Amino acid sequence: MRTILYALLAYLSGSVLYAQIFARLFHKPDLIERSNDHNPGTANAFQYGGFWCGVLTLVCDLLKGFIPVFVFLAGPKPDPIACALVLAAPVIGHAFPVFYRFQGGKGIAVTFGCLLGLIPIWQPVATLAMYFILFSVVLQISPHFYRTLVAYLCALVHMIFIVKIPAIWMGFLVISGVVLLRLHMSKEQREQIEVKWVWTR
């Protein structure tokens, strides 16, 4: 019952789309419609809503993943499947929010929030961050659609073979599936993939 309760609360937490909320507060009601991919996420909040709209969206998207996971793990030690379910629930909520007719965002910032909730286990969040940095500033993959796809897949393989904690890689497997499904469903125009070292033109 504890697992079901926390998973439900984590899903509902994820279902609150803060980009939509802060867009209205900052009088940018058409923020999502103006964006290329119509994604109610942090990147569009910064680009179309301005600095403070973006910062507040980022903080809240991180917290809505962090708080449910951190509080759940602070209680009695759960079994791996329970932990994996609660770990993935905020991202599922963000991607398919009950408050917005199940039309949500990709869940990248929320993913980082969920992985931060595993602290003091820091390797999962560092792993995902490392691959995003690698494919952004060393071996550049563009556009962002493909960079995200490759970063999640590499992070998943890394966690399975290096982190080796079943609860974490099972939870991240579900998260990756949800994020990649949302990428596939995105209205974003997909340009041809380009891969190059940062020092080449």
Please write the tens of the pLDDT for every residue from 27-79.
877 767 777 777 788 888 888 888 998 999 999 999 999 999 999 999 888 88
Please give the Cα distance from 107 to 83 (Å, whole number): 19
Beta carbons of 3 and 155 less than 8 angstroms apart: no
Contacts of 188 (CB under 8 A, 6+ apart): 36, 37, 39, 145
Q: Which of the four pLDDT bands, split at 50, 70 and 90, describes residue 143?
A: confident
Give me the domain span that covers residue 119. Answer: 2-197
Residues facing 195 on adjacent strands: 141
Query: What tokens were used for 109?
Result: 């910032």
DSSP letter string, 5-64: HHHHHHHHHHT--HHHHHHHHTT-TTHHHHSSS---SHHHHHHHH-HHHHHHHHHHHHHH
Q: What is the pLDDT of residue 88?
A: 97
Q: How many domains does the chain have?
A: 1
Q: Which of the four pLDDT bands, split at 50, 70 and 90, describes residue 26?
A: confident
Please give the Cα distance from 93 to 108 (Å, whole number): 12
pLDDT in tens, 69-105: 999 999 888 888 999 999 999 999 999 999 888 888 8
Please give the Cα distance from 142 to 110 (Å, whole number): 22
